Amino acid sequence: MRILSILPVCGVVVAWFTCAMLLAEDVSPVESSEVLSAAQHTATKKEMFSIKSDPFGLIWNRLKPALDADNFQVINQGVLQLETLMVSAGVRSLDDYALVLVAKGEHQLASRNRDTAHFYLRKAYQLSPESPVVLYRSLNLASETGYRSKLAQWRRIIASALRTPELLFQVPVVLIYPLLWAATLGLFCALALLFSLRTDEILRRVARILPKRSRGYLTPLVVILCLVAPLSLGPLWTVAMWTLILFVCLPRYRWLGMIGGTVLAIWGFVIPLKENISLWLQDPAVKIMLRLAISSHGPQDIQELEGLASRRLGSDGLVYYLLGDLSRRYGMYEEAEEYFAKVGPSLASDPRIPAQLALITFARGDNERAKELFLEAEEKGLESAPLYYNLSKVYFELLDTKSSREAITKARRIDPSLVAQFEKREETLGLRASSSFSGFEVPVLQLFRSSLVPMPGAREHYTEVAEKLMWPFSPFGIAVVGVALFLCFFAVSPEKQRRLETYYLGYTVPAAQRRLTSLIPGGGFAVSGRPVWCFLGVSAVALSLFPLLGWPNEVVELFTVFPSASQVAFVIASVVFSIVYVASFLGKKESE
């Protein structure tokens, strides 16, 4: 029977290898394509900035000799030309060029040319004033040159990231699978350790069910089969079967069973959501949508968005809104009005629609009607710097200088830096030029709704992922299994101690086994009869170890975005390991 007590622990080791083999086969077919898509996107951006096709490339090509020679005057003039072109083209950031300047600054800083490094940093921020990528890559440079403290720079990075819709989608998509794998592995260990320490109770319960004549030799065989067989079916099958065994044999630990059902239900819900959003982010037209959401655009984007609208058969109102916004920016007012009329019920009552129509009306010279539409947008709840800035222009044209000053004051109070950009663009392009109007950013909620619209091929993708994890179930089937196990928590009540036990009496857990279990991070909680705390501790340790293992695939993708994060991964893992180990040891001592 003591051999039986270590079987669940051995099962955990097998389960780890099962998970590793499963992920080595690429659990999600989307993952491998994401890397390729990212590479293609990078190549596309390089083509956009090539010398032949893009005016930015012409200016940048003339700057290269000056960068090699550190000719500050020529560099300064070239950056000013790029800034002017950015204003006229409606481009808010040139990350590729800014990162080159940051690299030059770091090289100068390594050569102890602090003033030169400071110069390159300022030029980089002129080309990308609010890019979270540029701000993050220049974190050390800004601190060492005295431009900005690290704390202030981190605040700007976070604030800029929150205004970047693509990051708001990519970060949860990258993190969701590692979090679920950590929870799943935590359940593996917590259940295995609990079973190994309560083997006698499991044997007693099984013996009661079996016939009297055969229970002597059948009981250990049935227990071995129930504990080991699910390992061959995969990690989620193991969690499901072990959770069911917990409810049947160890009902007083039903809280851990409820957690097992919850984790399975979350897997079933998250798989289709994650895979659909991943496909959504890979679509070239969606990348344009995300750029348009922060007012970064080009005239060629209209064709891509029209293709996305046709693929979605008019089911995504946000695409038509962005098509209308883009058409308005390039002076195609009739087309813009047609697109705004197609937004559908999800956006028909959005205050940005009358605000956009007000911009078109103002560009046509109907100031009074434009004022009415802007005020309608304000009544519907739109209070933003672009609204009040545009409204101040309308009041100025109507010779209502007092209202114009009040509106521009409100705009500056909400976002002074954005208003400064609007004023600079207006000085360059003129009052009524279509490109000089300040646009209205799309709320993240509308982008999230767009990401939920099913992408072509998404169903096949997430069904394949689900079958690899828990064959033959679809995501819906996994969710149903999880919900059923969750409901078992309410159907099973903690068993009262029987007055007379007749099977497997006199068994105690060997002291060596208890000591070995205590050496595992979180194992002390299992020894003290707190499997839920054991689950939390092991999950935290597993999550902290993923960066060191480079597993699962999403962790590698995260490090490509934040390369320096790997430098602190070991420190974080050590701290988490120590905290969990000490807490579980103290919990064990307290229970003794």
Mean pLDDT, rounded, for 239-259: 92
- pTM equals 0.73
| Distance set, CA 357 to CA 42, 331, 333, 554 (Å) | 35, 13, 9, 42
* Distance separating alpha carbons of residues 463 and 474, to the nearest angstrom: 5
- For the stretch 558-570, pLDDT in tens is 666 666 666 678 8
Say which residue the tokens 């560099």 belong to: 75
Residue 282 neighbours by CB distance under 10 Å: 18
The amino acid at 395: Y
Mean pLDDT, rounded, for 490-509: 67
Under 8 Å between Cβ of 92 and 130: yes
Q: Where in the chain are the domains?
A: 2-27+168-276+461-591, 49-163, 285-452
Instruction: Reply yes or no: is the peptide bond before residue 8 cis, omega within 30 of 0.
Output: no
What one-character-per-residue DSSP string does 557-589 give?
HHHHHSTTHHHHHHHHHHHHHHHHHHHHHHHHH
What one-character-per-residue DSSP string does 406-437 give?
HHHHHHHHH-HHHHHHHHHHHHHH-SS-GGGS
CATH class (in words) of the domain with range 49-163: mainly alpha
* Distance separating alpha carbons of residues 407 and 384, to the nearest angstrom: 11
Under 8 Å between Cβ of 535 and 515: no
Residue 432 — pLDDT band, cuts 50, 70, 90? low
The amino acid at 101: L
| Intrachain domains 49-163 and 285-452 with the same fold | yes
Under 8 Å between Cβ of 339 and 327: yes
Burial class (CB in 10 A: 0-12, 13-18, 19+), 255: middle
- Four-way CATH pick for 285-452: 1.25.40.10, 1.10.3720.10, 1.10.357.140, 3.40.50.300: 1.25.40.10
- For the stretch 11-47, pLDDT in tens is 444 343 334 333 333 333 333 333 223 333 333 333 3
Mean pLDDT, rounded, for 329-355: 84
495 φ, ψ (degrees, to nearest 5): -75, 135
Residue 53 — pLDDT band, cuts 50, 70, 90? very low
What is the pLDDT, as a whole number, of residue 579? 92
What is the pLDDT, as a whole number, of residue 12? 42
What is the pLDDT, as a whole number, of residue 406? 92
- For the stretch 68-77, pLDDT in tens is 888 888 898 9
